[in-house]
Amino acid sequence: MYKLLVQLEKILELVYMAIPSFRKLEKDLEVNKTTLHNWKKNRPKLYEFIIESYKDKEMLKKNLSYMVEQKEVLENEINVTLKRVS
């Protein structure tokens, strides 16, 4: 039951991810804040694409870390089972 709650919590975390800050965008895209504001105002599709790309990137990162976590849990369960059998 606890594992299920943890999984649900992680899924909700993925769904409600925050938009990256302008500072992060400035650094990653190597543009200034004015350019970002102009893109947001004059090229909304481009700006929205950038934001969605960051959300996808974050989601992939979180999924990967979750998979690593699950692998460790499975390895621990296998080791416990092997100790019982031995």
Q: Are 51 and 20 in contact (CB under 8 A)?
A: yes
- Domain extent, residue 19, equals 2-85
pLDDT of residue 81: 92
Domain count, the chain: 1
13 Cβ neighbours under 8 A, 6+ residues apart: 62
Please tell me whether the overall predicted TM-score, pTM, comes out greater than 0.85 for this model: no
pLDDT per residue as tens digits for the range 10-52: 665 655 566 778 888 888 889 898 998 898 999 999 988 988 8
Q: Are 36 and 22 in contact (CB under 8 A)?
A: yes
- For residue 18, the SS3 value is coil
pLDDT of residue 78: 92
SS3 content of the chain, % helix, strand, coil (to 5): 85, 0, 15
pLDDT per residue as tens digits for the range 62-77: 888 888 888 988 999 9
Distances (CA, A) of 79 to 9, 19, 39, 84: 27, 40, 53, 9
